[in-house]
Amino acid sequence: MNERYSRQILFSEIGKEGQEKLLNSRVLLVGCGALGASHAEILARAGVGFLRIVDRDFVELTNLQRQTLYSEADARERLPKAIAARKRIREINSEIETEAIVADVNYSNIESLVKDCDLVLDGTDNFQIRYLINDACVKLNKIWIYGAAVSAYGATMTIMPQKTPCLRCIFEEMPSAGSAPTCDTAGVIQPIISSISAIQTTEALKILTGNTDRLHKSLIQIDVWNNDWRKIKLGKPNEDCETCARANFEFLDSETGEFSAVLCGRNAVQIAPPRATRINLPQLAERLESLGEVKQNEYLVRFTTGANELTIFADARAIIRGTDDIAVARSLYAKFVGS
């Protein structure tokens, strides 16, 4: 084994054997914003052999304060986060494999993203998708690590299906939209990201090296500004839990799957087609050229019309800025992209 990992191998609980296990591990990172970028960097440096990074968004200037993998050039070029992350990770550790997927994670793809991975890390920013991850991981019996951070506050919990409470055992109902503060309404400072990510990735290292007896087995809540650290011990899974007791995986059900979503606090809506499809981006750009300002790269087309900006990805998804009204966004999508 090369000297790259020598200090980690010297750490006796990992050792040579643990390092081998890391190199043979496959991890799914759902979301590559602030938490996800930190997960990706730490696990890539640690030598996790395969990282699948899935993110639906592109890099913007407002991300740079906390999303440590990205540069000004990424924001200028509006690179999708998954692509920019892979580019940076290749510079950090060219010996591991990184797969970048620019997509919205939803009921139609979550199981295939999860099933050939050993572990799933939550780097998302909303509960809808966390319940989806929870359903898929409980169904497929994969460990996942919940993480959230906003303002100076964060929380994390490691979920081992059937052994520890799942997300739904703890939070039975999804918090209603708009009820919780978000990074876009309450802001966020970077140190809480690093703190939560540090706990999540340490748990990941323990799991992947077979040291599950060292897991913290708690819901950890931290407020780095008000100096408040809490560790709530978790008991057994809830015997009435819809997900892990009754195996009612309703978030994986297409009937309840949501395909358009208001991106909280961003004055933007995401529209996604109901079925998987690909769009010919150069053709679309050409078609839109006479109708407004068009910019494009290999991964997306950005089109400005009046007060609205449409960013259309190759998977036919669009993020529509300048409105938080789904009906308005849908009509803009139908008009310029097609229905």
Stretch that binds Zn ion, among 115-123, 169-177, 190-198, 209-217 (CB under 5 A): 169-177
Stretch that binds Zn ion, among 54-62, 108-116, 167-175, 325-333 (CB under 5 A): 167-175
Please answer whether residues 119 and 144 qualify as being in contact, where contact means their C-beta atoms are separated by less than 8 angstroms. Answer: yes
Specify the amino acid at residue 9.
I
> Which of 38/164 has CB closer to Zn ion?
164
Options 54, 244, 271, 288; binder of Zn ion; rule CB under 5 A: 244
Instruction: Collect all residues with Cβ–Cβ distance below 8 Å to 28 and sequence separation of at least 6.
Output: 52, 54, 113, 114, 117, 119, 120, 121
Minimum separation from the CB atom of position 127 to Zn ion (A): 15
> Which of 47/165 has CB closer to Zn ion?
165
Stretch that binds Zn ion, among 175-183, 240-248, 257-265, 294-302 (CB under 5 A): 240-248
State yes or no: residue 169 binds Zn ion (CB under 5 A): yes
The pairing of strands 97-102 and 119-122 is unpaired
Please answer whether residues 77 and 297 qualify as being in contact, where contact means their C-beta atoms are separated by less than 8 angstroms. Answer: yes
Distance CA(8)–CA(47), nearest Å, equals 10
> Which of 158/243 has CB closer to Zn ion?
243
Q: Which of residues 105-164 bind Zn ion (CB under 5 A)?
A: none
Options 21, 168, 206, 317; binder of Zn ion; rule CB under 5 A: 168
Stretch that binds Zn ion, among 31-39, 171-179, 223-231, 239-247 (CB under 5 A): 239-247
Phi, psi of 34 (to 5 degrees): -65, -55
Q: Count residues contacting Zn ion (CB under 5 A)? A: 6
CA torsion angle 281 284 289 292 (round to 10): -100
> Which of 80/237 has CB closer to Zn ion?
237
Tokens encoding 335: 């008009």
> Which of 33/165 has CB closer to Zn ion?
165
Options 53, 82, 148, 241; binder of Zn ion; rule CB under 5 A: 241
Minimum separation from the CB atom of position 155 to Zn ion (A): 17
> Which of 234/328 has CB closer to Zn ion?
234
Distance CA(237)–CA(83), nearest Å, equals 38
Minimum separation from the CB atom of position 174 to Zn ion (A): 14
Measured CA angle at 314 (ends 328, 331), to 5 deg:
15
CA 134 to chain centre: 13
Positive or negative torsion for Cα 16, 21, 26, 32:
negative
> Which of 249/333 has CB closer to Zn ion?
249
Residues interacting with Zn ion, by CB under 5 A? 166, 168-169, 241, 243-244
